[in-house]
Chains A and B, each alone.
Chain A
Amino acid sequence: MTTMTTVSARGTVQVENLTQIHRSGERTTHALDNISFTIPAGKFVSVVGPSGCGKSSLLMLLVGLAQSTSGELRVAGRPVAGPDPARIGVVFQEANLFPWLTARKNVEFPLMIRNMSVKERETKARDALELVGLDEFGDRYPHELSGGMRQRVSIARGIVQDPDVLMMDEPFAALDEQTRMVMGDELLRIWERTGKTVVFVTHSLTEAIYLSDHVLVLSARPGRIIDRIDIDLPRPRTFELTSSAEFIQIRNRIWEQIRTA
Protein backbone atom coordinates (compact mmCIF):
# COMPACT_ATOMS: atom_id res chain seq x y z
CA MET A 1 0.00 0.00 0.00
CA THR A 2 1.12 3.48 -0.75
CA THR A 3 1.61 5.89 2.08
CA MET A 4 0.01 9.29 1.66
CA THR A 5 2.29 12.26 1.45
CA THR A 6 1.18 15.79 0.78
CA VAL A 7 2.27 16.52 -2.74
CA SER A 8 1.40 19.95 -4.04
CA ALA A 9 2.32 19.49 -7.65
CA ARG A 10 -0.48 20.21 -10.16
CA GLY A 11 -1.85 17.02 -11.58
CA THR A 12 -1.30 14.92 -8.50
CA VAL A 13 -4.29 12.72 -7.74
CA GLN A 14 -4.75 11.64 -4.13
CA VAL A 15 -7.38 9.18 -3.02
CA GLU A 16 -7.76 8.40 0.65
CA ASN A 17 -10.00 5.70 2.18
CA LEU A 18 -12.63 6.11 -0.49
CA THR A 19 -15.79 4.04 0.09
CA GLN A 20 -18.97 4.10 -1.93
CA ILE A 21 -22.27 2.40 -1.16
CA HIS A 22 -25.15 2.84 -3.61
CA ARG A 23 -28.66 2.82 -2.20
CA SER A 24 -31.63 2.40 -4.50
CA GLY A 25 -34.79 1.57 -2.63
CA GLU A 26 -34.28 -1.51 -0.49
CA ARG A 27 -31.12 -2.60 -2.28
CA THR A 28 -27.66 -1.44 -1.32
CA THR A 29 -24.57 -2.14 -3.36
CA HIS A 30 -21.14 -1.88 -1.87
CA ALA A 31 -19.27 -0.58 -4.91
CA LEU A 32 -15.92 0.56 -3.53
CA ASP A 33 -14.29 -0.33 -0.25
CA ASN A 34 -11.64 1.79 1.39
CA ILE A 35 -9.59 2.68 -1.65
CA SER A 36 -6.39 4.68 -1.30
CA PHE A 37 -3.76 5.57 -3.85
CA THR A 38 -1.67 8.45 -5.09
CA ILE A 39 -0.81 9.25 -8.66
CA PRO A 40 2.18 11.54 -9.09
CA ALA A 41 1.77 14.40 -11.55
CA GLY A 42 2.34 13.54 -15.19
CA LYS A 43 2.01 9.78 -14.82
CA PHE A 44 -0.11 7.46 -16.95
CA VAL A 45 -2.07 5.10 -14.69
CA SER A 46 -4.55 2.43 -15.71
CA VAL A 47 -7.24 0.86 -13.55
CA VAL A 48 -8.18 -2.74 -14.38
CA GLY A 49 -10.38 -5.31 -12.68
CA PRO A 50 -13.06 -7.93 -13.26
CA SER A 51 -16.36 -6.89 -14.85
CA GLY A 52 -18.59 -4.99 -12.45
CA CYS A 53 -15.82 -4.32 -9.93
CA GLY A 54 -16.61 -0.63 -9.65
CA LYS A 55 -13.97 0.68 -12.08
CA SER A 56 -16.50 3.03 -13.60
CA SER A 57 -17.90 3.99 -10.19
CA LEU A 58 -14.40 5.03 -9.22
CA LEU A 59 -14.05 7.16 -12.30
CA MET A 60 -17.43 8.83 -11.75
CA LEU A 61 -16.14 9.80 -8.28
CA LEU A 62 -12.81 11.02 -9.66
CA VAL A 63 -14.53 13.41 -12.11
CA GLY A 64 -17.02 14.67 -9.55
CA LEU A 65 -20.14 13.17 -11.17
CA ALA A 66 -20.89 11.09 -8.08
CA GLN A 67 -20.52 11.51 -4.31
CA SER A 68 -18.53 9.10 -2.22
CA THR A 69 -20.00 7.68 0.96
CA SER A 70 -16.81 8.40 2.85
CA GLY A 71 -13.18 9.17 2.17
CA GLU A 72 -11.31 11.95 0.47
CA LEU A 73 -10.31 12.80 -3.03
CA ARG A 74 -7.92 15.58 -4.00
CA VAL A 75 -6.48 16.76 -7.27
CA ALA A 76 -3.47 19.03 -6.93
CA GLY A 77 -4.14 19.13 -3.19
CA ARG A 78 -7.67 20.54 -3.61
CA PRO A 79 -10.77 18.40 -2.93
CA VAL A 80 -13.03 17.52 -5.84
CA ALA A 81 -16.55 18.75 -5.04
CA GLY A 82 -18.16 18.47 -8.46
CA PRO A 83 -17.35 18.51 -12.16
CA ASP A 84 -14.43 20.84 -12.74
CA PRO A 85 -13.43 20.49 -16.39
CA ALA A 86 -10.77 23.19 -16.14
CA ARG A 87 -8.80 20.92 -13.78
CA ILE A 88 -10.12 17.50 -14.76
CA GLY A 89 -10.93 16.56 -18.35
CA VAL A 90 -13.18 13.55 -19.00
CA VAL A 91 -13.50 11.16 -21.92
CA PHE A 92 -16.27 8.54 -21.79
CA GLN A 93 -16.64 5.16 -23.46
CA GLU A 94 -19.00 6.58 -26.03
CA ALA A 95 -17.79 9.81 -27.59
CA ASN A 96 -21.04 11.46 -26.41
CA LEU A 97 -20.69 14.27 -28.91
CA PHE A 98 -23.68 16.57 -29.33
CA PRO A 99 -24.99 15.48 -32.74
CA TRP A 100 -26.35 18.96 -33.59
CA LEU A 101 -22.94 20.61 -33.20
CA THR A 102 -19.97 20.38 -35.56
CA ALA A 103 -16.75 18.84 -34.28
CA ARG A 104 -15.35 22.30 -33.61
CA LYS A 105 -18.46 23.50 -31.76
CA ASN A 106 -18.36 20.31 -29.70
CA VAL A 107 -14.81 21.07 -28.64
CA GLU A 108 -15.82 24.65 -27.89
CA PHE A 109 -18.78 23.53 -25.78
CA PRO A 110 -17.07 23.46 -22.35
CA LEU A 111 -15.58 26.89 -23.11
CA MET A 112 -18.97 28.27 -24.07
CA ILE A 113 -20.40 26.97 -20.80
CA ARG A 114 -17.85 29.19 -19.06
CA ASN A 115 -18.76 32.21 -21.23
CA MET A 116 -15.34 32.49 -22.80
CA SER A 117 -15.05 35.00 -25.66
CA VAL A 118 -15.71 33.64 -29.15
CA LYS A 119 -12.23 34.47 -30.30
CA GLU A 120 -10.52 32.69 -27.46
CA ARG A 121 -12.80 29.71 -27.93
CA GLU A 122 -11.91 29.40 -31.57
CA THR A 123 -8.17 29.55 -30.90
CA LYS A 124 -8.29 26.93 -28.17
CA ALA A 125 -10.58 24.62 -30.14
CA ARG A 126 -8.31 24.85 -33.18
CA ASP A 127 -5.27 23.96 -31.07
CA ALA A 128 -7.03 21.02 -29.46
CA LEU A 129 -8.28 19.65 -32.79
CA GLU A 130 -4.80 20.02 -34.23
CA LEU A 131 -3.35 18.11 -31.30
CA VAL A 132 -5.64 15.14 -32.04
CA GLY A 133 -4.97 15.43 -35.76
CA LEU A 134 -8.42 16.58 -36.84
CA ASP A 135 -7.78 20.23 -37.73
CA GLU A 136 -9.30 19.66 -41.17
CA PHE A 137 -12.49 18.06 -39.89
CA GLY A 138 -13.74 20.84 -37.62
CA ASP A 139 -16.82 21.57 -39.72
CA ARG A 140 -18.02 17.98 -39.90
CA TYR A 141 -21.01 16.80 -37.90
CA PRO A 142 -20.50 13.76 -35.66
CA HIS A 143 -22.49 11.45 -37.97
CA GLU A 144 -20.04 12.33 -40.74
CA LEU A 145 -17.07 11.09 -38.71
CA SER A 146 -15.83 7.55 -38.07
CA GLY A 147 -15.91 6.04 -34.58
CA GLY A 148 -12.21 6.69 -34.06
CA MET A 149 -12.52 10.27 -35.24
CA ARG A 150 -15.45 10.88 -32.93
CA GLN A 151 -13.42 9.64 -30.01
CA ARG A 152 -10.56 11.97 -31.03
CA VAL A 153 -13.00 14.89 -30.97
CA SER A 154 -14.07 13.73 -27.53
CA ILE A 155 -10.42 13.74 -26.39
CA ALA A 156 -9.94 17.21 -27.86
CA ARG A 157 -13.01 18.35 -25.91
CA GLY A 158 -11.55 16.81 -22.74
CA ILE A 159 -8.24 18.64 -23.01
CA VAL A 160 -9.37 21.92 -24.58
CA GLN A 161 -9.18 23.75 -21.25
CA ASP A 162 -5.72 22.36 -20.63
CA PRO A 163 -6.69 20.44 -17.48
CA ASP A 164 -3.98 18.91 -15.29
CA VAL A 165 -5.62 15.50 -15.28
CA LEU A 166 -7.39 13.55 -18.00
CA MET A 167 -9.81 10.87 -16.78
CA MET A 168 -10.78 8.25 -19.34
CA ASP A 169 -13.52 5.64 -18.89
CA GLU A 170 -12.85 2.77 -21.33
CA PRO A 171 -12.49 5.32 -24.12
CA PHE A 172 -11.60 2.82 -26.84
CA ALA A 173 -13.90 -0.03 -25.81
CA ALA A 174 -16.41 0.72 -28.56
CA LEU A 175 -13.78 0.78 -31.31
CA ASP A 176 -12.51 -2.07 -33.45
CA GLU A 177 -9.18 -3.73 -32.68
CA GLN A 178 -7.08 -1.89 -35.26
CA THR A 179 -8.52 1.53 -34.55
CA ARG A 180 -7.92 0.78 -30.90
CA MET A 181 -4.20 0.20 -31.42
CA VAL A 182 -3.87 3.38 -33.46
CA MET A 183 -5.76 5.38 -30.84
CA GLY A 184 -3.52 3.99 -28.10
CA ASP A 185 -0.43 5.29 -29.89
CA GLU A 186 -2.19 8.60 -30.52
CA LEU A 187 -3.03 8.93 -26.85
CA LEU A 188 0.58 8.25 -25.86
CA ARG A 189 1.75 10.92 -28.32
CA ILE A 190 -0.70 13.47 -26.90
CA TRP A 191 0.24 12.50 -23.36
CA GLU A 192 3.95 12.90 -24.06
CA ARG A 193 3.39 16.29 -25.67
CA THR A 194 1.19 17.71 -22.94
CA GLY A 195 2.57 16.01 -19.82
CA LYS A 196 -0.87 15.56 -18.27
CA THR A 197 -1.71 13.01 -15.64
CA VAL A 198 -3.88 10.31 -17.23
CA VAL A 199 -6.19 7.97 -15.34
CA PHE A 200 -7.31 5.28 -17.76
CA VAL A 201 -10.03 2.77 -16.89
CA THR A 202 -10.04 -0.27 -19.17
CA HIS A 203 -10.88 -3.96 -19.21
CA SER A 204 -8.11 -4.75 -21.69
CA LEU A 205 -4.96 -5.90 -19.89
CA THR A 206 -2.82 -5.51 -23.02
CA GLU A 207 -4.01 -1.93 -23.44
CA ALA A 208 -3.37 -1.14 -19.77
CA ILE A 209 0.19 -2.52 -19.78
CA TYR A 210 1.03 -1.08 -23.18
CA LEU A 211 0.04 2.46 -22.22
CA SER A 212 0.78 2.86 -18.52
CA ASP A 213 3.46 3.71 -15.99
CA HIS A 214 1.43 2.00 -13.28
CA VAL A 215 -1.49 -0.40 -13.28
CA LEU A 216 -3.96 -0.51 -10.38
CA VAL A 217 -5.77 -3.84 -10.04
CA LEU A 218 -9.23 -3.73 -8.46
CA SER A 219 -10.91 -6.74 -6.85
CA ALA A 220 -14.45 -7.91 -7.51
CA ARG A 221 -17.19 -5.97 -5.73
CA PRO A 222 -16.76 -4.36 -3.30
CA GLY A 223 -13.79 -2.96 -5.19
CA ARG A 224 -10.50 -2.90 -3.30
CA ILE A 225 -7.04 -2.28 -4.66
CA ILE A 226 -5.33 -5.66 -4.66
CA ASP A 227 -2.18 -4.75 -6.54
CA ARG A 228 -0.25 -1.87 -7.96
CA ILE A 229 2.20 -2.82 -10.67
CA ASP A 230 4.92 -0.57 -11.98
CA ILE A 231 5.46 -1.06 -15.68
CA ASP A 232 9.12 -0.42 -16.32
CA LEU A 233 8.99 -1.24 -20.01
CA PRO A 234 10.98 1.23 -22.09
CA ARG A 235 9.30 4.06 -23.99
CA PRO A 236 8.49 4.78 -26.77
CA ARG A 237 6.53 1.55 -26.80
CA THR A 238 5.95 -0.40 -29.97
CA PHE A 239 3.61 -3.15 -31.04
CA GLU A 240 6.38 -5.77 -30.90
CA LEU A 241 6.70 -5.13 -27.19
CA THR A 242 3.32 -6.76 -26.59
CA SER A 243 4.77 -10.15 -27.51
CA SER A 244 7.95 -9.80 -25.40
CA ALA A 245 8.47 -12.23 -22.53
CA GLU A 246 8.39 -9.45 -19.95
CA PHE A 247 5.09 -8.07 -21.24
CA ILE A 248 3.47 -11.49 -21.20
CA GLN A 249 4.76 -12.17 -17.71
CA ILE A 250 3.12 -8.97 -16.39
CA ARG A 251 -0.09 -9.77 -18.18
CA ASN A 252 -0.20 -13.27 -16.72
CA ARG A 253 0.39 -11.90 -13.25
CA ILE A 254 -2.51 -9.46 -13.51
CA TRP A 255 -4.78 -12.07 -15.09
CA GLU A 256 -4.06 -14.47 -12.26
CA GLN A 257 -5.06 -11.83 -9.72
CA ILE A 258 -8.25 -10.88 -11.52
CA ARG A 259 -9.26 -14.49 -12.03
CA THR A 260 -8.92 -15.31 -8.34
CA ALA A 261 -10.09 -11.94 -7.04
Chain B
Amino acid sequence: MVCPTAKTTRRIIVLILLACWELLPRLGVIPSLFLPPLTLTAAALFSEFSVYWQHLLVTLQEVGAALFFACGGGILCGMLLGSSTRLRRLLLPVVSSAYAIPLVVLYPLFTAWFGIGMQSKVVFASVYGFLPTLLGAAAGIQTIDRSLMMTARSMGASPVQQIRYVLLPATMPTVLSSLRIGGALVIVGVVVSEMLTSTAGIGFLISRYRTMLDSPRVFAAILLVLMLAILFDLLVQFAERRFTGWKKNVPAKTFP
Protein backbone atom coordinates (compact mmCIF):
# COMPACT_ATOMS: atom_id res chain seq x y z
CA MET B 1 0.00 0.00 0.00
CA VAL B 2 1.28 3.44 -0.88
CA CYS B 3 0.82 5.92 1.93
CA PRO B 4 0.45 9.60 1.20
CA THR B 5 3.14 11.81 2.75
CA ALA B 6 2.81 12.44 6.45
CA LYS B 7 1.89 16.05 5.84
CA THR B 8 -0.97 15.14 3.52
CA THR B 9 -2.33 12.56 5.94
CA ARG B 10 -2.10 15.06 8.75
CA ARG B 11 -4.03 17.62 6.71
CA ILE B 12 -6.68 15.05 5.88
CA ILE B 13 -7.02 14.20 9.58
CA VAL B 14 -7.40 17.88 10.47
CA LEU B 15 -10.00 18.35 7.72
CA ILE B 16 -11.95 15.31 8.90
CA LEU B 17 -11.89 16.65 12.46
CA LEU B 18 -13.17 20.02 11.27
CA ALA B 19 -15.90 18.31 9.24
CA CYS B 20 -16.88 16.25 12.30
CA TRP B 21 -17.02 19.44 14.35
CA GLU B 22 -19.60 20.78 11.88
CA LEU B 23 -21.52 17.64 11.01
CA LEU B 24 -21.76 15.60 14.21
CA PRO B 25 -23.74 18.24 16.12
CA ARG B 26 -25.80 19.06 13.01
CA LEU B 27 -26.74 15.41 12.60
CA GLY B 28 -27.49 15.15 16.29
CA VAL B 29 -24.77 12.57 17.02
CA ILE B 30 -23.33 14.90 19.64
CA PRO B 31 -25.73 17.33 21.35
CA SER B 32 -24.89 20.81 20.13
CA LEU B 33 -24.91 21.96 23.73
CA PHE B 34 -21.61 20.10 24.17
CA LEU B 35 -20.13 20.83 20.78
CA PRO B 36 -21.70 23.69 18.85
CA PRO B 37 -21.16 23.39 15.08
CA LEU B 38 -18.12 25.17 13.69
CA THR B 39 -20.19 27.63 11.66
CA LEU B 40 -22.34 28.62 14.64
CA THR B 41 -19.21 29.18 16.72
CA ALA B 42 -17.64 31.34 14.03
CA ALA B 43 -20.90 33.27 13.64
CA ALA B 44 -20.99 33.91 17.39
CA LEU B 45 -17.43 35.17 17.30
CA PHE B 46 -18.19 37.63 14.48
CA SER B 47 -21.57 38.87 15.66
CA GLU B 48 -20.30 39.53 19.19
CA PHE B 49 -16.90 40.72 18.16
CA SER B 50 -17.10 44.14 19.85
CA VAL B 51 -17.97 42.50 23.20
CA TYR B 52 -15.13 40.01 22.82
CA TRP B 53 -12.72 42.74 21.84
CA GLN B 54 -13.56 44.88 24.84
CA HIS B 55 -12.94 41.98 27.24
CA LEU B 56 -9.89 40.82 25.33
CA LEU B 57 -8.28 44.19 26.05
CA VAL B 58 -8.70 43.62 29.79
CA THR B 59 -7.20 40.14 29.49
CA LEU B 60 -4.29 41.47 27.45
CA GLN B 61 -3.49 44.10 30.07
CA GLU B 62 -3.42 41.45 32.78
CA VAL B 63 -1.31 39.13 30.62
CA GLY B 64 1.15 41.94 29.90
CA ALA B 65 1.61 42.81 33.56
CA ALA B 66 1.89 39.17 34.66
CA LEU B 67 4.34 38.43 31.85
CA PHE B 68 6.54 41.21 33.14
CA PHE B 69 6.63 39.81 36.68
CA ALA B 70 6.67 36.09 35.87
CA CYS B 71 9.21 36.15 33.06
CA GLY B 72 11.29 39.09 34.27
CA GLY B 73 11.52 37.65 37.77
CA GLY B 74 11.73 34.04 36.64
CA ILE B 75 14.52 34.64 34.14
CA LEU B 76 16.50 36.81 36.55
CA CYS B 77 16.21 34.37 39.47
CA GLY B 78 16.79 31.40 37.17
CA MET B 79 20.01 32.89 35.85
CA LEU B 80 21.17 33.66 39.36
CA LEU B 81 20.36 30.13 40.46
CA GLY B 82 21.86 28.55 37.35
CA SER B 83 25.17 30.38 37.54
CA SER B 84 26.02 29.44 41.13
CA THR B 85 26.74 25.78 41.78
CA ARG B 86 26.16 26.14 45.49
CA LEU B 87 22.81 27.93 45.11
CA ARG B 88 21.73 25.42 42.50
CA ARG B 89 22.53 22.40 44.65
CA LEU B 90 20.83 24.03 47.61
CA LEU B 91 17.64 25.38 46.08
CA LEU B 92 16.88 23.39 42.94
CA PRO B 93 15.43 20.42 44.87
CA VAL B 94 13.24 22.86 46.84
CA VAL B 95 12.07 24.52 43.62
CA SER B 96 11.31 21.17 41.97
CA SER B 97 9.27 20.08 44.99
CA ALA B 98 7.37 23.35 44.95
CA TYR B 99 6.61 22.70 41.29
CA ALA B 100 4.40 19.79 42.35
CA ILE B 101 2.02 22.05 44.32
CA PRO B 102 -1.25 22.63 42.41
CA LEU B 103 -1.02 26.41 42.40
CA VAL B 104 -4.69 26.77 41.53
CA VAL B 105 -5.50 26.53 45.25
CA LEU B 106 -3.72 29.85 45.83
CA TYR B 107 -6.24 31.78 43.77
CA PRO B 108 -9.00 31.98 46.42
CA LEU B 109 -6.36 33.36 48.79
CA PHE B 110 -5.35 36.02 46.27
CA THR B 111 -8.96 37.09 45.73
CA ALA B 112 -9.35 37.39 49.49
CA TRP B 113 -6.19 39.49 49.65
CA PHE B 114 -6.42 41.59 46.51
CA GLY B 115 -10.12 41.60 45.59
CA ILE B 116 -11.65 40.26 42.40
CA GLY B 117 -10.26 42.96 40.11
CA MET B 118 -7.21 42.84 37.85
CA GLN B 119 -4.73 42.74 40.72
CA SER B 120 -5.55 39.22 41.87
CA LYS B 121 -5.33 37.91 38.28
CA VAL B 122 -1.95 39.50 37.71
CA VAL B 123 -0.61 38.13 41.00
CA PHE B 124 -1.96 34.63 40.34
CA ALA B 125 -0.71 34.45 36.74
CA SER B 126 2.70 35.77 37.81
CA VAL B 127 3.02 33.08 40.46
CA TYR B 128 1.70 30.48 38.01
CA GLY B 129 4.29 31.30 35.36
CA PHE B 130 7.21 32.02 37.69
CA LEU B 131 8.55 28.58 38.66
CA PRO B 132 8.65 26.92 35.22
CA THR B 133 10.29 30.04 33.79
CA LEU B 134 12.85 29.94 36.57
CA LEU B 135 13.59 26.25 36.00
CA GLY B 136 13.95 26.83 32.26
CA ALA B 137 16.29 29.78 32.71
CA ALA B 138 18.40 27.95 35.30
CA ALA B 139 18.86 24.99 32.96
CA GLY B 140 19.57 27.22 29.97
CA ILE B 141 22.22 29.35 31.63
CA GLN B 142 24.23 26.23 32.43
CA THR B 143 24.59 25.37 28.77
CA ILE B 144 26.54 28.56 28.06
CA ASP B 145 30.15 27.83 27.16
CA ARG B 146 32.30 29.66 29.69
CA SER B 147 35.42 29.52 27.53
CA LEU B 148 33.78 32.03 25.20
CA MET B 149 34.14 34.68 27.90
CA MET B 150 37.81 33.83 28.28
CA THR B 151 38.25 33.98 24.52
CA ALA B 152 36.75 37.47 24.44
CA ARG B 153 39.04 38.48 27.29
CA SER B 154 42.05 37.12 25.42
CA MET B 155 41.14 39.47 22.59
CA GLY B 156 41.15 42.42 24.95
CA ALA B 157 37.40 42.83 25.45
CA SER B 158 36.50 45.05 28.40
CA PRO B 159 33.98 43.76 30.98
CA VAL B 160 31.24 45.84 29.35
CA GLN B 161 32.15 44.47 25.93
CA GLN B 162 32.18 40.93 27.31
CA ILE B 163 28.62 41.36 28.57
CA ARG B 164 27.37 43.07 25.43
CA TYR B 165 29.01 40.91 22.80
CA VAL B 166 29.25 37.54 24.54
CA LEU B 167 26.96 37.15 27.55
CA LEU B 168 23.90 38.79 25.98
CA PRO B 169 23.89 36.87 22.71
CA ALA B 170 24.77 33.65 24.54
CA THR B 171 21.83 33.99 26.94
CA MET B 172 19.36 35.00 24.23
CA PRO B 173 18.11 31.45 23.46
CA THR B 174 17.55 30.82 27.17
CA VAL B 175 15.66 34.08 27.60
CA LEU B 176 13.43 33.37 24.62
CA SER B 177 12.65 29.78 25.50
CA SER B 178 11.87 30.81 29.08
CA LEU B 179 9.59 33.50 27.72
CA ARG B 180 7.85 30.87 25.66
CA ILE B 181 7.25 28.60 28.65
CA GLY B 182 6.23 31.45 30.94
CA GLY B 183 4.04 33.22 28.38
CA ALA B 184 1.86 30.17 27.74
CA LEU B 185 1.36 29.65 31.47
CA VAL B 186 0.64 33.32 32.14
CA ILE B 187 -2.12 33.33 29.51
CA VAL B 188 -3.71 30.22 31.08
CA GLY B 189 -3.30 31.69 34.55
CA VAL B 190 -5.06 34.92 33.64
CA VAL B 191 -7.94 33.26 31.78
CA VAL B 192 -8.51 30.58 34.42
CA SER B 193 -8.57 33.12 37.23
CA GLU B 194 -11.01 35.23 35.21
CA MET B 195 -13.17 32.16 34.77
CA LEU B 196 -13.24 31.54 38.52
CA THR B 197 -14.14 34.99 39.85
CA SER B 198 -14.05 38.29 37.99
CA THR B 199 -16.05 41.02 36.40
CA ALA B 200 -14.24 41.38 33.10
CA GLY B 201 -11.96 39.59 30.65
CA ILE B 202 -12.30 36.69 28.22
CA GLY B 203 -12.42 34.16 31.06
CA PHE B 204 -15.31 36.11 32.58
CA LEU B 205 -17.15 35.89 29.24
CA ILE B 206 -16.57 32.14 29.08
CA SER B 207 -18.13 31.67 32.51
CA ARG B 208 -21.00 34.09 31.87
CA TYR B 209 -22.00 32.41 28.61
CA ARG B 210 -21.63 29.04 30.29
CA THR B 211 -24.19 29.88 32.95
CA MET B 212 -26.47 31.06 30.12
CA LEU B 213 -25.88 27.67 28.42
CA ASP B 214 -24.91 29.57 25.27
CA SER B 215 -22.32 27.09 24.06
CA PRO B 216 -21.50 28.67 20.67
CA ARG B 217 -20.40 31.81 22.50
CA VAL B 218 -18.48 29.78 25.09
CA PHE B 219 -16.66 27.98 22.32
CA ALA B 220 -16.02 31.20 20.44
CA ALA B 221 -14.37 32.68 23.55
CA ILE B 222 -12.31 29.52 24.02
CA LEU B 223 -11.20 29.78 20.40
CA LEU B 224 -10.16 33.36 20.98
CA VAL B 225 -7.96 32.33 23.92
CA LEU B 226 -6.43 29.56 21.81
CA MET B 227 -5.65 32.05 19.08
CA LEU B 228 -4.06 34.35 21.64
CA ALA B 229 -1.86 31.52 22.96
CA ILE B 230 -0.88 30.40 19.47
CA LEU B 231 -0.18 33.96 18.35
CA PHE B 232 2.08 34.51 21.33
CA ASP B 233 3.92 31.27 20.64
CA LEU B 234 4.38 32.19 16.97
CA LEU B 235 5.75 35.60 17.97
CA VAL B 236 8.35 34.05 20.27
CA GLN B 237 9.18 31.44 17.62
CA PHE B 238 9.71 34.23 15.12
CA ALA B 239 12.05 35.95 17.56
CA GLU B 240 13.85 32.65 18.15
CA ARG B 241 14.46 32.21 14.44
CA ARG B 242 15.50 35.82 14.09
CA PHE B 243 17.91 35.93 17.04
CA THR B 244 18.99 32.35 17.57
CA GLY B 245 19.12 31.03 14.02
CA TRP B 246 22.79 30.26 14.67
CA LYS B 247 21.80 27.38 16.94
CA LYS B 248 21.74 23.93 15.46
CA ASN B 249 18.34 23.10 16.89
CA VAL B 250 16.09 25.45 18.74
CA PRO B 251 14.68 23.45 21.66
CA ALA B 252 10.92 23.01 21.58
CA LYS B 253 10.52 21.83 25.14
CA THR B 254 7.39 23.26 26.71
CA PHE B 255 7.50 21.56 30.11
CA PRO B 256 10.28 21.13 32.66
Contacts and interface: CB of A to CB of B under 8 A. Distances in A.
Given a CB threshold of 8 Å, the question of whether A touches B is answered with yes
A212 B170 CA distance: 37
A3 B180 CA distance: 64
B147 A96 contact: yes
B155 A113 contact: yes
B85 to A, nearest CB: 14
Interface in A87-104: 90, 92, 94, 96, 98-101
A85 interface: yes
A143 interface: yes
A121 to B, nearest CB: 13
B156 A84 contact: yes
B166 A114 contact: no
**B-side interface mostly:** helix
Given A101-B246, A141-B246, A94 B147 contact: yes
A4 to B, nearest CB: 27
A143 B248 contact: yes
Contacts of A109: 152, 155, 165
A244 B62 CA distance: 78
B164 to A, nearest CB: 10
Nearest to A114: B156
A83 B156 contact: yes
Nearest to B162: A113
Contact of B148 (A84, A85, A96, A157): A96
A99 B247 contact: yes
A65 interface: yes
B156 A113 contact: yes
B156 A65 contact: no
Given A98-B169, A100-B244, A143-B248, A90 B154 contact: yes
B199 interface: no
A85 B156 contact: yes
B96 interface: no
A157 to B, nearest CB: 8
B157 A99 contact: no
Indicate the member of A63, A64, A83, A142 with the most B CB atoms within 10 Å.
A83
A109 B156 CA distance: 10
B101 to A, nearest CB: 37
Contacts of B151: 92, 96, 98
A92 B145 CA distance: 14
Contacts of B154: 63-65, 83, 85, 90, 92
A148 interface: no
A110 interface: yes
A83 B161 CA distance: 14
B153 interface: yes
B147 A92 contact: yes
Interface string B142-186: 000101101111111100010001100110100000000000000
A90 B152 CA distance: 11
Contacts of B169: 98, 100
Contacts of B152: 109, 113
Contacts of B244: 100
A257 B247 CA distance: 46
Contacts of A113: 152, 155-157, 161, 165
A86 B156 CA distance: 9
Given A99-B247, A101-B246, A141-B246, A110 B148 contact: no
Contacts of B161: 113
Contacts of A96: 145, 147-148, 150-151
Contact of A65 (B145, B153, B157, B170): B153
A143 to B, nearest CB: 5
B154 to A, nearest CB: 5
B147 A110 contact: no
Contacts of B166: 98
A226 B155 CA distance: 32
Interface string B180-219: 0000000000000000000000000000000000000000
Chain A CB within 10 Å, residue with most, of B161, B166, B246: B246
B246 A65 contact: no
A71 B150 CA distance: 24
A82 B161 CA distance: 16
Interface in A54-96: 63-65, 82-86, 90, 92, 94, 96
Given A83-B153, A83-B154, A101-B246, 4 more contacts: A85-B156, A96-B150, A100-B172, A143-B247
- Which 4 A-B pairs give the minimum distances between C-beta atoms? A110-B155, A96-B151, A100-B246, A100-B169
22 contacts: A65-B154, A83-B155, A84-B156, A90-B154, A90-B155, A92-B147, A96-B151, A98-B151, A98-B165, A98-B166, A98-B169, A100-B170, A100-B246, A101-B246, A109-B155, A110-B156, A113-B152, A113-B157, A113-B161, A114-B156, A142-B246, A143-B246
